[in-house]
């Protein structure tokens, strides 16, 4: 029989031989490696008992807890497909995901069950369970009655492990299908490239419904058999409390901006740390330098996306090269990155172009969107990232990539992707609105902030405050514009296209 490619089997191979050692520590309690095995085993047995076919989706919108990580592992172990959803998503957004993915099992919080269960049932879910921030709920209650020993399902490498929804430029989210092999390849590469060690202690403060917190951070720790200090979210006081006994931290740039904004964040607090990693959004060179000055440590910036996991990374090992601010480093081992012009032909070193990637980490396509999948790959198999970058440059080695822009109309706010089209569609459907344009403007905390510019219909009045309130009920809070401007007409070029660059300049100041 072929080797079991189930990702859990790969991760399990990294657990230490002493399964009684602490694996996850929260401010309230500790979980041993044996608990991970047992709790995920009980949950997997429960999922298995539902009799849903291999490959069925398990959609999960719950607060972060160790049990929510166990649910992810249980889904892998049961041979089902994990579909995490941002807790900020509102009912209308969740309805779309459930309708598109048709999950057999849906897990939400008790407080969301009232609206989530009917949505899920109407879209074919056979089980709706709950899991709350304290790790309790109907899921854990039912799992407690199961046996802890569970034979992890046999998977082929191309079997799906997860579907991550990532917004589309048309405003319609696409489900990126990731296989067990995709995730394992990236996790094993990062373990080696970042020199993960069994005695590492990871400060885990990221949400676990995206690549960064779920895959990059948790997989790394599990594969290394390293302990995680597990906090529900970024909290600077808590971070300052735990950092002195941690060795590794990952965050989006906002995490570093917020740490630096606290004078208690000092060299002494970081004395035990060996690595700070940043990604998901551009790290400003100023932040990189201020961090160096304050702590004596150099943030390692890497670059990736939902469809591919991590693509490039500045080196951890100085023998491989320096960490250069403003760059995201060379392609990770086993992957190839190229920068091309509009006709997919590579451009020279130092010339900006479209970033494309190939490698075992690259996803299997968009869920039920073969056409879209074809569009995003070149004929010879390169994935189009939608990012604009350049290789090399002044005083930068030729294999180092710098991300200098995006061809996709995308705003990244505090590490969350916001697609203007999605918000524009909601605003344009509001009474009195002729049209709108949503842009990202610089923001000291979130990197970019969402701003909307609205043109009312002739004779109509629009009230920015009322629009903001309506948007809050329709969209996740991080997508709601921080500021709304009402103007007479949008600037357009000769082709009739809205000139967002003009708007970005005009409305750059938030105040």
Q: Which residues bind ligand AMP (CB under 6 A)?
A: 166, 211, 279-282, 301, 303-306, 328, 385-387, 403, 406, 412, 417
Smallest distance, ligand AMP to C-beta of residue 495, A: 25
Say which residues have a Cβ less than 8 Å from residue 58's Cβ, sequence separation at least 6: 47, 71, 75, 80, 81, 82, 83, 103, 104, 105, 106, 107
Smallest distance, ligand MLC to C-beta of residue 86, A: 9
| Dist CA 340 CA 2 (whole Å) | 39
Residue 137 or 365: the one with the smaller Cβ distance to ligand AMP is 365
Residue 81 or 214: the one with the smaller Cβ distance to ligand MLC is 214
Smallest distance, ligand MLC to C-beta of residue 470, A: 14
Smallest distance, ligand MLC to C-beta of residue 14, A: 21
Residue 90 or 136: the one with the smaller Cβ distance to ligand MLC is 90
Q: What is the DSSP letter of 318?
A: G
CA atoms within 13 A on the CB side of 167: 22
Strand (E) or helix (H) holding 151? none
| Dist CA 99 CA 367 (whole Å) | 12
Smallest distance, ligand AMP to C-beta of residue 420, A: 14
Smallest distance, ligand MLC to C-beta of residue 146, A: 31
Token pair recorded at residue 256: 């570093």
Binding partner at 233 among ligand AMP, ligand MLC, none, C-beta below 5 to 8 Å by kind: ligand MLC
Binding partner at 208 among ligand AMP, ligand MLC, none, C-beta below 5 to 8 Å by kind: none
Binding partner at 414 among ligand AMP, ligand MLC, none, C-beta below 5 to 8 Å by kind: ligand MLC
| Dist CA 209 CA 72 (whole Å) | 10
| Dist CA 117 CA 126 (whole Å) | 10
Say which residues have a Cβ less than 8 Å from residue 192's Cβ, sequence separation at least 6: 333
Residue 150 or 303: the one with the smaller Cβ distance to ligand MLC is 303
> Which neighbouring-strand residues pair with 133?
none
Residue 200 or 307: the one with the smaller Cβ distance to ligand MLC is 307
| Dist CA 303 CA 252 (whole Å) | 11
| Dist CA 246 CA 204 (whole Å) | 10
Our CA angle for 142, 144, 146, nearest 5°, is: 85
Smallest distance, ligand MLC to C-beta of residue 210, A: 4
| Dist CA 67 CA 73 (whole Å) | 10
Binding partner at 477 among ligand AMP, ligand MLC, none, C-beta below 5 to 8 Å by kind: ligand MLC
Binding partner at 301 among ligand MLC, ligand AMP, none, C-beta below 5 to 8 Å by kind: ligand AMP
Smallest distance, ligand AMP to C-beta of residue 314, A: 9
Binding partner at 84 among ligand MLC, ligand AMP, none, C-beta below 5 to 8 Å by kind: none
| Dist CA 322 CA 330 (whole Å) | 11
Binding partner at 478 among ligand AMP, ligand MLC, none, C-beta below 5 to 8 Å by kind: ligand MLC
Residue 226 or 411: the one with the smaller Cβ distance to ligand AMP is 411
H runs (alpha helix) in 13-107: 33-49, 66-77, 91-101
Smallest distance, ligand MLC to C-beta of residue 281, A: 7
Binding partner at 234 among ligand MLC, ligand AMP, none, C-beta below 5 to 8 Å by kind: ligand MLC
Binding partner at 213 among ligand AMP, ligand MLC, none, C-beta below 5 to 8 Å by kind: ligand MLC
Residue 45 or 249: the one with the smaller Cβ distance to ligand MLC is 249
Residue 167 or 373: the one with the smaller Cβ distance to ligand MLC is 167
Smallest distance, ligand AMP to C-beta of residue 287, A: 12
Residues of 277-290 as b/e, b for ≥16 C-beta within 10 angstroms? Answer: bbbbbbbbeebbee
Q: Which residues bind ligand MLC (CB under 6 A)?
A: 206-207, 210-213, 233-234, 252, 254, 279-280, 304-305, 413-416, 446, 477-478
Q: What is the DSSP letter of 112?
A: G
Closest chain position to ligand MLC (CB): 414
| Dist CA 480 CA 14 (whole Å) | 41
| Dist CA 313 CA 196 (whole Å) | 14
Q: How far is CA 157 from CA 179, 223, 360, 364, in A?
A: 7, 18, 11, 11
Binding partner at 385 among ligand AMP, ligand MLC, none, C-beta below 5 to 8 Å by kind: ligand AMP
> Which neighbouring-strand residues pair with 179?
160
Residue 184 or 305: the one with the smaller Cβ distance to ligand AMP is 305
Asked if 392 contacts 350 with a C-beta cutoff of 8 angstroms, the reply is yes
Residue 165 or 230: the one with the smaller Cβ distance to ligand AMP is 165
Residue 9 or 417: the one with the smaller Cβ distance to ligand AMP is 417
Q: What is the DSSP letter of 303?
A: E
Asked if 103 contacts 50 with a C-beta cutoff of 8 angstroms, the reply is no
Binding partner at 373 among ligand AMP, ligand MLC, none, C-beta below 5 to 8 Å by kind: none
Smallest distance, ligand AMP to C-beta of residue 280, A: 5
Residue 153 or 277: the one with the smaller Cβ distance to ligand MLC is 277
State CA 368 to chain mean position distance.
Answer: 21
Smallest distance, ligand AMP to C-beta of residue 397, A: 17
């Amino acid at each position: 029989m072929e080797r079991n490619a189930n990702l859990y089997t790969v991760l399990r191979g990294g657990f230490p031989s002493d399964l009684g050692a602490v694996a996850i520590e929260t401010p309230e309690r500790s979980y041993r490696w044996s608990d991970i095995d047992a709790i995920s085993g009980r949950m997997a047995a429960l999922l298995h008992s539902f009799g849903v076919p291999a490959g069925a989706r398990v959609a999960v919108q719950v607060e972060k807890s160790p049990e929510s990580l166990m649910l992810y592992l249980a889904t892998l172990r049961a041979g089902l497909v994990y579909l995490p959803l941002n807790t900020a998503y509102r009912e209308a957004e969740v309805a779309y995901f459930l309708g598109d993915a048709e999950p057999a099992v849906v897990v939400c919080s008790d407080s969301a069950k009232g609206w989530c269960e009917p949505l899920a049932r109407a879209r074919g879910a056979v089980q709706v369970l709950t899991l709350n921030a304290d790790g309790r709920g109907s899921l854990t209650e039912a799992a407690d009655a199961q046996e802890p020993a569970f034979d992890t399902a046999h998977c082929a490498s191309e079997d799906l492990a997860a579907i991550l929804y990532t917004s589309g430029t048309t405003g319609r989210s696409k489900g990126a299908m990731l296989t067990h092999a995709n995730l394992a390849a990236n996790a094993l590469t990062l373990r080696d490239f970042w020199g993960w060690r069994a005695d590492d202690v990871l400060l885990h403060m990221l949400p676990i419904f995206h690549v960064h917190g779920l895959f990059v951070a948790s997989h790394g720790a599990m594969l290394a058999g390293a302990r995680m200090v597990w906090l529900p979210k970024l909290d600077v006081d808590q971070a300052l409390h735990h950092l002195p006994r941690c060795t590794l931290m990952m965050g989006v740039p906002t995490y570093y901006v917020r740490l630096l904004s606290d004078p208690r964040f000092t060299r002494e607090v970081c004395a035990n740390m060996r690595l700070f990693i940043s990604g998901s959004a551009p790290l400003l060179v100023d932040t990189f330098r201020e961090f160096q000055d304050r702590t004596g440590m150099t943030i390692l910036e890497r670059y990736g996306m939902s469809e591919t996991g991590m693509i490039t990374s500045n080196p951890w090992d100085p023998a491989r090269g320096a960490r250069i601010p403003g760059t995201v480093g060379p392609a990770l081992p086993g992957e190839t990155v190229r920068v091309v012009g509009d006709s997919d032909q590579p451009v020279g070193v130092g010339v900006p172009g479209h970033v494309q990637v190939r490698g075992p980490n690259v996803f299997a396509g968009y869920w039920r969107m073969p056409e879209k999948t074809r569009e995003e790959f070149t004929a010879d198999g390169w994935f189009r990232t939608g990012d604009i970058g350049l290789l090399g440059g002044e005083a930068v080695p030729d294999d180092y990539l710098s991300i200098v822009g995006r061809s996709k109309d995308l705003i990244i706010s505090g590490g969350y992707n916001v697609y203007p089209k999605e918000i524009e569609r909601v605003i344009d459907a509001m009474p009195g609105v002729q049209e709108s344009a949503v842009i990202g403007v610089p923001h000291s905390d979130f990197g970019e902030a969402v701003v909307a510019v609205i043109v009312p219909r002739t004779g109509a009045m629009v009230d920015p405050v009322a629009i903001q309130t309506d948007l809050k009920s329709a969209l996740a809070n991080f997508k709601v514009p921080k500021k709304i401007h009402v103007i007479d007409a949008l600037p357009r070029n000769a082709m009739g296209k809205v000139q967002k660059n003009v708007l970005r300049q005009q409305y750059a100041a938030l105040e």
